[in-house]
Amino acid sequence: MPIPTTRDFSVKFGRGHDLGLEGQKAFPFIYTFVNHNDDTWTANAAPLSLANLGPTIPANSRKDINVRLDQDYNFKLLAIKYSVYWSSYEPPNGGPGSTTFSWYENGPAATPVDGLDPGMMLVGTPLTRYIAITLSVQGSGSQTIYGGVDPGPLKGYRVPVPLTCIEGYDYGFYTVRTPRLLPMQGIMAFEVTNSHPRKDLVVAAAIYGMKVRI
């Protein structure tokens, strides 16, 4: 008779039918681009920083962002809300320097322009227009959720999806729904492209879904 190993006696938390969070088999959960162990946000801290919101994507560049899913539950992805920010530093001129944060550019004109939506003129152009995303999930297999490589005549040419297609203008909260059941310890691989010619942009994401015990 073989001798049992320590593994045979271990409790696999969250996987038994009678274990989990207060007996629930599913509960809401949000992932972000910044792991909670790396989040250094402090209330009322100065100077302010956007580093805890997400990575900086240099102008005219592409960056890969990997979000590793937890090992306790499968994750049912429902929707992702992206946000884009820009910060600029004004050097001191006889006093302390200052940092300005913005979500828009090309602010309101001094006088109304015929033919333009007055509401749009009040806030300017959202910086989300410069960001495009390719999202794939890697685990036991790999699947592209949106964006990726063109399977047509331009094979191999990368075609990320603009954020304006995924979530439109700032009129609503929810975005394109992407219902997928993702594996434990899988990886959500984001390829983020910044097409702005001059500005390095910070991209944040709130990845909405539910942890599900199967």
- Backbone φ, ψ for residue 6 (5° rounding): -60, -35
Q: Has residue 20 been placed in a domain? A: no
Range of the domain at 156: 28-99+126-212
Query: Residue 87 is part of a domain; what is its CATH number?
Result: 2.60.120
137: in domain: yes
In a domain, 107, yes or no: no
Quick check: is 70 in a domain? yes
For residue 197, being part of any structural domain is answered with: yes
pLDDT tens by residue, 56-74:
999 999 999 999 999 888 9
The pLDDT confidence band at residue 172, using thresholds 50, 70 and 90, is: low
Put simply, whether the predicted model's pTM sits higher than 0.95 gets the answer: no
All residues at 6 or more sequence positions from 103 whose CB lies less than 8 Å from its CB, including other chains? 83, 84, 85, 86, 126, 127
The number of domains in the chain is: 1
Give domain status of residue 79, yes or no.
Answer: yes
Asked whether residue 168 is domain-assigned, the answer is yes
Residue 50, in any domain of the structure: yes
Contact status, residue 74 vs residue 182, Cβ threshold 8 Å: yes
Give yes or no for a contact between 191 and 160, defined as CB atoms under 8 angstroms apart: yes
